[in-house]
Structure 1
Amino acid sequence: MALAPFEWKDKPTLIEHLFPVQKISAETFKERMASHGQLLVSLGAYWKGRKPLVLNKACILGSLLPATGNPIKDLEIFELLMGIDAESMKKRIKANLPASKQDTTEELLALPYAEQVRTAKRPEEIGASLYNHVWPTVNNYLGTSVNSFPELIEQMGIARFGRRPKVADVFSGSGQIPFEAARLGCDVYASDLNPIACMLTWGGFNIVGASKEKRAEMDKSQRKLAQQVQKEIDALEIETDGYGWRAKVFLYCLEITCPESGWKVPLMTSFIVSNSYKVVAELVPVPEEKRYDINIRYVNSNEEVEAAQKGTVQDGNLVHSPDGITQYRVGIKTIRGDYKEGKENKNRLRMWEKSDFTPRPDDIFQERLYCIQWMKKKPSGSNFDYEFRSVSVDDMVREQRVIDYVREHLEKWQEKGYIPDMVIEKGDETERLYRERGWTHWHHLFNPRQLLFLQLVNKYSIAEEKFNFFQCMNHLSRLTRWRPQAGGGGGSAATFDNQALNTLYNYPVRTTASIEGIFTSVHSNYEIDSKVSTTVNSHPAQEINVDNDIYITDPPYGDAVKYEEITEFFIAWLQKKPPKEFAHWTWDSRRSLAVKGEDEGFRRGMVAAYRKMTQKMPDNGIQVLMFTHQSGAIWADMANIIWASGLQVTAAWYVVTETDSALRQGANVKGTIILILRKRHQELETFRDDLGWEIEEAVKGQVESLIGLDKEVRAQGSEGLYTDADLQMAGYAAALKVLTAYSRIDGKDMVIEAEAPRQKGKKTFVDELIGFAVQTAVQFLVPVGFEKGEWQKLQAVERFYLKMAEMEHQGANTLDNYQNFAKAFKVHHFDQLMSDSSKANFARLKLSTEFKSAMMSGDAEIAGTPLRALLYALYELFKEVEVEDVLLHLMDNCPNYLPNKTLLSKMADYLAEKREGLKGTKTLKPDVEASCARILSEAIRNQRL
């Protein structure tokens, strides 16, 4: 028996009451670590901002499932549907184990959850069979009659909204949120200002989500297109040598005239061509012509390869020696003629024109083919022989043939839209293209061979094939790096190997045969139910004009990636002739309309967008707002936006969403805050004096509720659901829930206050309210062992240090936790307390032996505090100073020793407990510190004064 329409209309949702963030974090991390194994990455790996599908699924289910008043049972149903229950995990682990290891499954299931996840397949890798055991329990509890997610989603949507739920994302980006919503069975509306983002979203629905039959047709068409392009390239005879060898990659370098010597010198960052094949480039002087030949040769040892590490470009200088005696060293900026005019950086480079695609003879930077890697099928036909060669006269004839052919057809190709003629608009990322190379149009970023290949693909490809076309572009530009250390003799890094448009001195050009694997690559497939309706549009977020029940958004708050600039690299190629499926979108990045950053423009844009979304949802609609915590002012910013949009916070959760990749080392944040929002239906008024107790009661109730649920789960033999960081976030949410419920506070209209522009260095009324609310939330989280009065007596830096010692004891030592708590406790220089060896996922406090005698006095926040005196006492005990002397020094160092004596003893006991069992090294020994703390605590208690 199915649920009745609107049966759950006013029921609170699960995500407003509970969310197993530790398990979701582990699953999220697992998916991010899969890198290119993620479902949608193959559509466009150049788009890095992706909210993991498993997190999106959790948010969608959590927004539809009811909170019934039985949290343990609610949690059980949620975990079944997420594939994170014990039975599902058993299936996932077994699916990832070889037959010989199947008997270890039970052993692995006894590990902590995060360890189980590492050994298991992701739920999406198994598919529908993972959930066979789920449906009887779900149906019995919810009153549904379903056997699949689309059926469940439809029935829950009818019970809540009277229809299959409509989910929208107006900042769709790479399409992760819309795709997961559609895959589950929701009707979906997706939009983005950027047409490339819209393409990626469309590709998720129509390529990854296509039926198997449709996908077979697509793959066949893609292979046919590849054959057609190869045929036309072969007809020009520009990739073969006439002796059975086919080119795999062409290597190019820039060349400039040295002003001191008058010699033409190749710009090469390294002379190594291939590490594994032991191939190097050697400059051979040609004195009579004041230039160098480039000889490609194989060497015999790794030492000879290493000796070729330094090229002619060293620390921004051109370095060369024509006679082996006289060395010339000239700054490349000097050769380029860099100078400042006012605040603007300029130089002597000629700005390229629309008709250019290679340097002109009098340009400062010339371009030169210096090496070719060839390949030839072995007699067996199954593998290839490879060899690197110097460039021959015949090679140069073929090279000129390409240039002549492109020159002859360039104007016609541009008119027809096969290659771009779009001007590069100057911006933070694109400015360097003008400044460093003189490139002014997007086609200048592509070598003649690349233009020839790409125009053919663009000319013949249909909508579904544009995704592989873009992937080819990503690997075929003058901005790709040659990697001599890669396998197969060497390889190329993609243009968007990082999210910047970096100009290079050396670059590879992959041939048709070399790029074929990318050109014909097969995307993942996960069929979307045919009943589901999907719509993709390109427009500013605030122009949403259709009603939706649930909005799940990941706006570009503080986003360092300039997508509105760098995606013009792709936009330029479809601007004149997009496929009919994409023709109704505006093929321009519309930079001025992009909502991003952290400034006033961002806040105004966000308010306009979220206000419109609020208007375009039913009274029982729900919004899930995700953002990455990057700024100390974020809570005030978000409260401003929420208040001004007519929304109220009902819950908040913190989920780890980022990998510990090289791009995110150091102090980068690794988590996502999830705010759950509802319409603010009443015009309530209060006064600040009355808010204190209300916030405290709300925080207390929320935290105690979660602690109670955590204890129940642990009592059943399961892992705990929440750490202190999670409870802190729940406390924030409870405080924000109270604040954002009011339309007027102290007689002030909060919408007007929220919309008021910020003044630099000046706190707004909202800032003050948020600060007050957060401090109230933080103060409630008193560690076991301290009385509330004692805890509040400590200085902020002491509370922070002790709280983080507890977090380390729980194993939650990721840097973002320290950042979050430092902001909450208002500790301004928490880095002074952190070990020098701290990394994003392995941060930790300094031990007493690392402090030694530093920061006992002076400007450091911890200086002069009882805790600092205590840490110095522990250091002395570690150095085997007599206990009596340690106590005397502690009395001297600790202000107001007698009133603080009991508190010092408690802190020592606390540190003894928290340091015990932590991993150490030869020099850093937490266990020894724990032992010293126990000795000190006992000594303080027994001291006779």
Structure 2
Amino acid sequence: MEVVPISNFLGSFTKSLKSVQTGIDTLIDILNNVGTSIKIDLDDATFLTKLREEVFDLIVTDPPYRDDVPYVELSDFYYVWLKRALSDTYNGKLAPRFLSEAFFKPIGATFREIRTQWEELAPREVGLNVGRLKHFKGEVANEEDARRYFIDLLYRAFMSMRRVLKDDGSLVTYYAHTDPEAWEELISAGWRAGFRVSAAFPVSTESAERVTARGKAALDTSIVVVWRPGVKGEALWDEVYRDALVAAEERALEMLRAGRTGVDLFVGTLAATLSAVTSREKIVGIDDIGGFVRERAYPAAARGLARAVSRLVGGNEAGEEVRDPGALFYMLAKVLLPWNRRARGRVMDRSTVHIIGFGTGLDDKELTSMKIVEKVGSEFRLLEPRGEERGEFVELLRARELDPSRPVLRSAVDALHLLEYYAATFDVKGFREQYEKLRSVNAVLVDEALRLAKVFSGRLVPSVDPERRLCERVLSYVSGAGTLEGWLGGA
């Protein structure tokens, strides 16, 4: 759609120009007040050759998003025009004028024009691109070669930053990739370079409607990670995992008591986990750092949060934790996210699904296949009770493809919803009959469902959520056949 260039709306030329002007004015005001100057260097992040003796208190960077955007190829569209706008002419040819090092390469007393960024910078860009690597390194290059090449460049960049950062300084990175492998590589590179994770928190930095997010899962939220120099000592992998689990549980409990919710709560818990993991210089028996982060650090954050929830519900007494991956995702979504009155349930954007999914080992496709979430347009809806009436439960079970007369349990969430359906349909005697039949199908998942019910019947779930009252009824019906502790103890 074509618009009038001078239109004044978000994203228009006029509005964008005004935003740039405001930013420049703000920077000028800051510099006038502090009485200092800004130095801008064009340099290679993997070497930082123009920084010799300088050291810094703070470095803030936005690492390239792995295979997300081919920056060199994309920016060449603007490069060829900027070169002409910022250069001079001599004898009918372009000649250096402004920012000459970006457009010309010195050769003795003369210079050579850099025709495109592609030919000069593509081999050095910190990104994962198989086609590009094949062009520059040979046709035999494959996906694994491209990944190793990317990891090596990322590590070099972290090493360069470590060289110019003070020992008590801080490094801040912004990252918004949905692939856990990308996070494993980022954390591994920083860790190997001598950095430990100090803190992390989510910040909304991306537009959900941006063109680059179309047709793929993408985070609308950047995860800001604060790193500090200083890794020391070594430990066995199981010792590090235990430390990470304890750190996650304590941080989560602290944040829950402070009233923190949502993605903030989960990312804060994950930060405590990563801080414990990256504090050691070496983990004995671990060669694949990325694999350790994927298989141990992410699950430790989710388990730590689950333990903290159990302690909060049980009056600070450690209780049985939820372990089933589907149930863990469902519990975290219920505890972390607010009840949406209009939708009569919980609605998540793709960022939230992926962030919680990191810790439970389930992606949006698996969660959709398990009928724990359903995709509605660009959002995901948690498949949960929207009311307490039997008719509404029939609708939920149909959406979740559950047959109460012939139950097949994929996760503890299935068991929980069937128990709630029985509680909404039968009296205590009828419920007990159905309960025993369900336990004969899979007693482990039924007991896990009761742990979920105990969490959801407490104050961590808002009173407007019908599942809170349904879980209260399930627990009262179960306790009518014996104490809840007795059932769980006999599992």
Would the TM-score normalized by the shorter structure come out above 0.5?
yes
Q: Is contact 1:856-1:864 (8 Å) kept? A: no
Do structure 1's residue 823 and structure 2's residue 358 form an aligned pair? yes
1:42 to 2, 8, 17: 17
> 1:633 offset after TM fit, Å?
1.8
Instruction: For structure 2, list consecutive stretches of 5 or more residues without a partner in the other structure.
Output: 1-8, 88-96, 104-113, 130-146, 341-345, 386-392, 484-491
SS of the equivalent of 1:889 reads helix
2:320 to 790, 804, 812: 790
> 1:790 offset after TM fit, Å?
2.0
Show the counterpart of 2:195: 647
Q: Deviation digits for residues 186-232 of structure 1, max 9, x if unmatched? A: xxxxxxxxxxxxxxxxxx6xx65667xxxxxxxxxxxxxxxxxxxxx
Q: Is contact 1:856-1:869 (8 Å) kept? A: no
Show the counterpart of 2:480: 942
Show the counterpart of 1:685: 234
Mapped to 1, the partners of 2:229 and 2:99 lie a distance apart of 34
SS of the equivalent of 2:168 reads coil
SS of the equivalent of 2:167 reads coil
Larger RCO, structure (CA 8 Å, separation 6 or more): 1
> 1:625 offset after TM fit, Å?
1.0
> 1:621 offset after TM fit, Å?
2.0
Mapped to 2, the partners of 1:775 and 1:534 lie a distance apart of 43
Q: Deviation digits for residues 617-670 of structure 1, max 9, x if unmatched? A: 222221101100311223321221112222221112222333332645784322
SS of the equivalent of 1:650 reads strand
Show the counterpart of 1:562: 70
**Pair 1:765–1:603, CA change in 2 (3 A):** closer
SS of the equivalent of 2:277 reads helix
Q: Is contact 1:904-1:937 (8 Å) kept? A: no
SS of the equivalent of 1:870 reads helix
> 1:679 offset after TM fit, Å?
1.8
Show the counterpart of 1:592: 123
2:41 to 537, 551, 554: 537
Pairs within 5 Å for 1:914-929: 927=466
Pairs within 5 Å for 1:138-157: none
**Pair 1:785–1:528, CA change in 2 (3 A):** closer
SS of the equivalent of 2:39 reads strand
Mapped to 2, the partners of 1:813 and 1:691 lie a distance apart of 35
Show the counterpart of 1:503: none
SS of the equivalent of 1:612 reads helix
> 1:697 offset after TM fit, Å?
3.8
Q: Deviation digits for residues 577-617 of structure 1, max 9, x if unmatched? A: 63422223235323232222483332222111111111012
> 1:840 offset after TM fit, Å?
5.0
> 1:562 offset after TM fit, Å?
3.2
2:398 to 849, 852, 867: 852
Letter in 1 for 2:64: P
Show the counterpart of 1:874: 420
Pairs within 5 Å for 1:545-584: 545-546=50-51, 547=54, 548-558=56-66, 560-575=68-83, 578-579=86-87, 580-584=97-101
Mapped to 1, the partners of 2:13 and 2:249 lie a distance apart of 40
SS of the equivalent of 1:573 reads helix
SS of the equivalent of 1:833 reads coil
Q: Deviation digits for residues 731-762 of structure 1, max 9, x if unmatched? A: 322222232222222177xxxx5xxxxxxxxx
Show the counterpart of 1:633: 181
> 1:729 offset after TM fit, Å?
2.0
Pairs within 5 Å for 1:121-160: none
> 1:691 offset after TM fit, Å?
2.0
Show the counterpart of 1:675: 225
Show the counterpart of 1:889: 434
Letter in 2 for 1:529: L
1:734 to 246, 253, 272: 272
Q: Is contact 2:86-2:99 (8 Å) kept? A: yes
> 1:910 offset after TM fit, Å?
4.1
Q: Is contact 1:208-1:526 (8 Å) kept? A: no
SS of the equivalent of 2:291 reads helix
Q: Is contact 1:552-1:624 (8 Å) kept? A: yes
Q: How many residue pairs end up in the alignment? A: 399
**Pair 1:560–1:695, CA change in 2 (3 A):** closer
Mapped to 2, the partners of 1:830 and 1:873 lie a distance apart of 21
Pairs within 5 Å for 1:288-367: none
2:452 to 907, 924, 929: 907
Q: Is contact 2:196-2:229 (8 Å) kept? A: yes
Letter in 2 for 1:785: V
- The structure with the larger Rg is 1
**Pair 1:39–1:833, CA change in 2 (3 A):** farther
Show the counterpart of 2:90: none
Instruction: Give the share of equivalent positions with the same residue, in percent.
Output: 17
**Pair 1:560–1:826, CA change in 2 (3 A):** closer
Mapped to 1, the partners of 2:253 and 2:400 lie a distance apart of 39
Mapped to 1, the partners of 2:428 and 2:375 lie a distance apart of 31
Show the counterpart of 1:863: 409
> 1:915 offset after TM fit, Å?
6.9
Pairs within 5 Å for 1:492-531: 527-530=29-32, 531=35
> 1:572 offset after TM fit, Å?
1.9
Q: Is contact 1:627-1:672 (8 Å) kept? A: yes
Do structure 1's residue 802 and structure 2's residue 327 form an aligned pair? no
Pairs within 5 Å for 1:406-417: none
Show the counterpart of 1:656: 204
TM value normalised by structure 2: 0.68
Mapped to 2, the partners of 1:733 and 1:607 lie a distance apart of 20
Q: Is contact 2:262-2:337 (8 Å) kept? A: no
Instruction: For structure 1, list consecutive stretches of 5 or more residues without a partner in the other structure.
Output: 1-33, 46-203, 212-523, 711-719, 754-763, 919-925
Letter in 2 for 1:535: K
**Pair 1:37–1:741, CA change in 2 (3 A):** farther
More helix by share: 2
Pairs within 5 Å for 1:731-770: 731-746=269-284, 753=287, 764-768=288-292, 770=294
Computed over aligned residues only, the root mean square deviation of the Cα atoms, in angstroms, reads 3.8
Mapped to 2, the partners of 1:724 and 1:802 lie a distance apart of 12
Letter in 1 for 2:125: A
SS of the equivalent of 2:295 reads helix
Q: Is contact 1:668-1:840 (8 Å) kept? A: no
Mapped to 2, the partners of 1:40 and 1:685 lie a distance apart of 54
SS of the equivalent of 1:575 reads helix
Mapped to 2, the partners of 1:567 and 1:845 lie a distance apart of 43
Show the counterpart of 2:389: none
**Pair 1:898–1:875, CA change in 2 (3 A):** closer
**Pair 1:938–1:837, CA change in 2 (3 A):** same
TM value normalised by structure 1: 0.38
Q: Deviation digits for residues 110-160 of structure 1, max 9, x if unmatched? A: xxxxxxxxxxxxxxxxxxxxxxxxxxxxxxxxxxxxxxxxxxxxxxxxxxx
Q: Deviation digits for residues 820-842 of structure 1, max 9, x if unmatched? A: 22221123512233443545566
> 1:575 offset after TM fit, Å?
3.5
Letter in 2 for 1:572: V
1:814 to 348, 360, 378: 348
Q: Is contact 1:869-1:894 (8 Å) kept? A: no
Q: Is contact 1:905-1:938 (8 Å) kept? A: no
Show the counterpart of 1:620: 168
